Amino acid sequence: MIDFDLGDELELLRSTAQQFAADHLRPALRDHESARQISQPAHAAFAEIGFAALECPESLGGSALGSLARCLMMEELAAADPGAALALDRLGAALYPIAEMGGDEALERFARPVLDTPDTRAALVWCGEGARAQTLRSGDRISGFVPWVPSDRVDLLLLLDERGCSIVHENIRCESLRGGGLRAAGAAELHLDDAPVAAHLEGEAAAGRALARARLYVTALLVGVMRESAEFSRQYALDRVAFGRPIAHHQGLAFLIADMATAVDAARVLLWEAAVRRDDAQANGLATHEQAAEAAATAFAEAAEQSLFVTPNGVQILGGHGFMQDYPVEKMMREARSLSLLLGGVDLAREHAARDLVVHEGPVALTLEAPP
């Protein structure tokens, strides 16, 4: 039985995220993008609600609500402004390698200072197969550069690959970039100048779990972005009248709008399925971690590909207006392209999904029933 009911707790979380986005993100959409930072009232409200530590363990003062809760929150924030969502979440996906490979001791040492200290930022960079980062490790020191991270400041850097994660918090130099998408979060090229490695966490299985959780995080942002693009362009097409009727009523455009809505819903279903699999694997073993990782890779690949279909067509539906900053669809197109480059991009996700599907024997039963 497929159950799409989230339950009262998760519905309350989603509605709270929607209200936060309506109050603090949508009204300041272009202001945050121009300033490359988020207003202090928005930061304060984000922390007060408890969003900053939503998925953190209780030992860090978090709610430990799991991946599905985090995905629901990030989708709602991204529908308003994905760059702002990243900027508000100072620890972000960097939480996952620390939690999966380091445990409570590493969380206390590396995650807590970021959560407790204002104006600090952590960044997770994929350095494994298909990575754009170029780093060279010599003993306990690393030199190299990362061509782009969506942040103007990085105080804690996690370099994740297939075998483990290196943690750096010294000798990180940020060179600001103009940036195309996610401007509210900032953009910088990172340089590591013989940076000392504060810790190296090892474990292939744990690194795979950390990558899977990070993919869910980015996939939720992609779903929120393309949902907003599809909904805004649909409403525009209903309001815009040509040849005596709304342009949405013309068959060619109506079919396109339906395809866009279908793409958004399909990506969301895969995201929820992957998040539930991960939560089940973590809580009681109802799904294996390998199946959860495959589902996360599949969800990321689908969301990245569909976002590159939905968001450009959102611009096209508006015609010339779509390229003007008076409307948000051009921003959504930029954001989707930027998000789809993270964590090795769509090609690596597709390769991981295919690899895991070949390894698994027999069909995998699907369920969307959320854990209690």
Closest alpha carbon to 125 in 152, 141, 109, 147: 147
pLDDT bin (cut points 50, 70, 90) of residue 289 is confident
For residue 327, the 8-state DSSP code is S
Q: Does pTM surpass 0.85? A: yes
d(CA 68, CA 270): 12
Q: What's the pLDDT tens digit per position in 88-114?
A: 999 999 999 999 999 889 999 999 999
The alpha carbon dihedral of 53, 224, 221, 148 has a sign of negative
Mean pLDDT of 285-292: 75
Q: What's the pLDDT tens digit per position in 205-218?
A: 999 999 999 999 99
So where are the chain's domains? 8-95, 119-203, 205-359
d(CA 259, CA 263): 6
pLDDT bin (cut points 50, 70, 90) of residue 362 is very low
Examine the pLDDT at 371 and tell me if it is beyond 50. no
Residue 238 CA: distances (Å) to CA of 75, 245, 248, 268, 304? 24, 9, 5, 24, 27
Q: Note the pLDDT of residue 8.
A: 87
Q: Note the pLDDT of residue 38.
A: 94
For residue 283, the 8-state DSSP code is H
d(CA 371, CA 162): 29
Strand order through the sheet with 122-126: 122-126, 156-160, 164-168, 199-202
Q: Is 5 helix (H, G, I), strand (E, B) or coil?
A: coil
Q: What topology does CATH give the domain 119-203?
A: Butyryl-CoA Dehydrogenase, subunit A; domain 2 (2.40.110)
Q: Note the pLDDT of residue 217.
A: 97
Other beta carbons less than 10 A from residue 44's beta carbon: 12
Q: At what angle do helices 204-239 and 67-80 cross, to 10 degrees?
A: 40
Query: With 0-12 CB in 10 A as exposed, 13-18 as middle and 19+ as buried, what is 309?
Result: middle
Q: At what angle do helices 345-359 and 289-318 cross, to 10 degrees?
A: 140
Q: Note the pLDDT of residue 233.
A: 96
Q: What's the pLDDT tens digit per position in 49-73?
A: 999 888 888 888 888 888 999 999 9
Q: Note the pLDDT of residue 353.
A: 86
d(CA 228, CA 264): 10
| Largest separation between any pair of C-alpha atoms in the chain | 72
Q: Give the H/E segment covering residue 118.
A: none
Are 275 and 71 in contact, with CB atoms under 8 Å apart?
yes
pLDDT bin (cut points 50, 70, 90) of residue 359 is low
Q: Are both 8-95 and 205-359 of the same fold?
A: no
Q: Note the pLDDT of residue 357.
A: 64
d(CA 35, CA 28): 10
The structure tokens listed for 241 are 């009248």
- Looking at residue 308, its amino acid is L
Angle made by CA atoms 99, 84, 264, in degrees to the nearest 5: 85
The structure tokens listed for 107 are 């969380």
pLDDT bin (cut points 50, 70, 90) of residue 366 is very low
Q: Is 232 helix (H, G, I), strand (E, B) or coil?
A: helix
Q: Note the pLDDT of residue 292.
A: 86
Q: What's the pLDDT tens digit per position in 226-238?
A: 999 999 999 999 9
Lowest-pLDDT range of 13-17, 25-29, 37-41, 127-131: 127-131
Q: What's the pLDDT tens digit per position in 174-212?
A: 999 987 889 999 999 999 999 999 999 999 999 999 999
Examine the pLDDT at 364 and tell me if it is beyond 50. no
Task: Domain 8-95: give its CATH architecture.
Answer: Orthogonal Bundle (1.10)
Closest alpha carbon to 272 in 305, 295, 240, 246: 295
Q: Is 160 helix (H, G, I), strand (E, B) or coil?
A: strand
| pLDDT, the chain, mean | 90
Q: Give the H/E segment covering residue 211.
A: helix 204-239
Strand partners, 196: 141
d(CA 335, CA 324): 15
Q: What topology does CATH give the domain 205-359?
A: Butyryl-CoA Dehydrogenase, subunit A; domain 3 (1.20.140)
